Amino acid sequence: MNTPLIDPFQRRISYLRVSVTDRCDFRCVYCMSEQMTFLPKKHLLTLEELDRLCSTFVGLGVEKLRITGGEPLVRKGIMTFFAAMARHLQSGALKELTLTTNGSQLDRYAADLAGMGVRRVNVSLDTLDDAKFTAITRWGRLPQVLKGIDAARAAGLRIKINAVALKGVNDDELFRLTEWCADQGHDLTWIEVMPMGDIGNEDRLDQFWSLRDLRARLAERYTLTDLAERSGGPARYVRLEETGQKVGFITPLTHNFCESCNRVRITCTGEIFTCLGQEGHSDLRAPLRASDDDVVLEAAIRAAIGLKPKGHDFDYARQDVAGRVSRHMSHTGG
């Protein structure tokens, strides 16, 4: 267990993103269909299996663990899993335990998360307009999300707002969102919409707003200074000199960020996807359940890392959505 995880392109894998459920209490138009069919609960890894799986990865050198979904905080008993992972923070083996959430349950859980060693959270929030929020999420409840963000801040959690750039939807809120985050003390990251899963009647090309264009618009109002800082993820950051805040850009379509990829993703059913933008995956649930000996599980993990591709194939060129993958983002985790 002492040999670190190295992929075929000599990238050390130190960042694990784990989806604990495919369920969500929203139905965002870029993420899933309005009438979703979720996995039978018996197919999901138990919380005890998630503990063992993540602990094995920590033993193999993973230092950052992000919990995702779906919406991770809707999973029954999820706080027991965070409590279990906190032991790796206390031992020093894990440097960071965090999560990505839609914010709907933060008012309920923020204080507990902070008590278990979570220091920052990513909150998905694409608009501050109540009507738009209802249209994007299909279910609404913006005041509940904002209350959750306030609770997280009160608990001492650092908050990063993740906003998906949606042409014709929130492009007119670029400066409003920027200024709100600056006033609240939140970092802000913009994300290009990704071609993942069947989303019903929504059109990916209609949704796509290039972050090159977004950044150019920001530069019309602010002085942008590029930062060398990296957070362990794909974002590239700038500082807005007039506000002092940090703004990130995740651009899988207009810029391929794969050369320094140090992360893999585990689905709620125990599949490992070594690239978000590829279909290739390996099953870890079978070896996890086949033996109580972690040597079997470790061998399966190393074999999967050995198949990690160099990069993804997302592309919106020629007015076609190339590089599309069939699974929904909620299955793999963001």
Task: Note the pLDDT tens digit of each residue in 322-332.
Answer: 444 444 555 55
**Within a domain: 9:** no
CATH number of residue 98's parent domain? 3.20.20.70
259 lies in a domain?
Answer: yes
Residue range 198-210, pLDDT digits in tens? 444 444 556 788 9
Name the one residue in this structure whose structure tokens are 């996807």.
273
Domain count, the chain: 1
Q: Do β-strands 263-266 and 15-19 pair in parallel, antiparallel, or remain unpaired?
A: parallel
User: Strand pairing partners for 191?
Assistant: 164, 250
Q: Which domain holds residue 300?
A: 15-332
Domain assignment present for 10: no
| pTM recorded for the entire structure | 0.86
Distances (CA, A) of 173 to 129, 169, 207, 316: 9, 8, 15, 24
Instruction: Give whole-number Cα distances, 18 to 23, 65, 220, 268, 332, in Å.
Output: 14, 8, 38, 7, 8
pLDDT (0 to 100) of residue 261: 81
The most distant pair of C-alpha atoms in the chain lies apart, rounded to whole Å, by 59
Q: Which of 191, 55, 208 is nearest to 125 (CA)?
A: 191
Q: Tell whether 8 is covered by a domain.
A: no
pLDDT at 229 over 90: no
Query: Is the CB of residue 28 less than 8 Å from the CB of residue 137?
Result: yes
Q: Check if the beta carbon of residue 307 is closer than 8 Å to that of residue 294.
A: no
Q: Are 325 and 198 in contact (CB under 8 A)?
A: no
Q: What confidence tens digit (pLDDT) does each residue in 238-256 have? A: 999 999 999 999 986 555 5
Determine, yes or no, domain membership for 175: yes
**Cα–Cα distance, 149 to 157 (Å, whole number):** 9
pLDDT band (50, 70, 90) for residue 269:
very high
pLDDT above 70 as % of the chain: 83
- Asked, for residue 1, whether it belongs to a domain, the answer is no
Burial (CB count within 10 angstroms: exposed 0-12, middle 13-18, buried 19+), residue 224: middle
288 found inside a domain: yes
Is there a domain that residue 162 lies in? Answer: yes
Helix, strand, coil percentages in the chain from 3-state DSSP, rounded to 5: 35, 20, 45
According to DSSP, residue 3 is labeled: S
